[in-house]
Every structure is written in structure tokens, then in C-alpha cells.
Amino acid sequence: MTDRPFFDKLLPTEDGWLTCPMCRRNRRLKRILPGEEAERVGLYCRDCKRILYVRIHKGQCFESRCQQ
């Protein structure tokens, strides 16, 4: 992981669960733990049929802007 600042969109979590930012349904996509870190994790929303790529840094979830 790099120590560069994140300029991606911060995604809200509810009770530690990431929900889809597009359809805002009550589906739980992924459990986000406080110290969790990951790079470009692909999550699929079953309601809006969209794949969301996220970065997780210190328990905060950011939407990845690059879709390569």
C-alpha cells in the first residue's frame, strides 16, 4: 500500500457494512473492519447489476475511479 492521499470518492458505510452507492438498497456488499486495507476490490451489486471497484484504507472505503 502506498501512503499517497486518496482523491477518490469516500463511500458511506452503515454499521460497518458497505452498501451500493448507486441504488442505495439495503443490500450489504462487504463488511468493513476498522483496520482493514485492500486495493481495487471488485464488488457486485445484485440489485443494480453494477460492479464497484473500491479501495479500503484504515477502515474507510473509497470508490476507485480508474476502471482498468
Assess contact for 8 and 18: CB atoms under 8 A: no
Assess contact for 10 and 56: CB atoms under 8 A: no
Mean pLDDT, to the nearest integer, of 28-44? 87
Tell me: pLDDT of 3 over 80: no
Mean pLDDT, to the nearest integer, of 7-28? 79
Assess contact for 21 and 52: CB atoms under 8 A: yes
List CB contacts of 22: < 8 A, sequence separation 6 or more: 45, 48, 50, 52
Which pTM does this prediction carry? 0.69
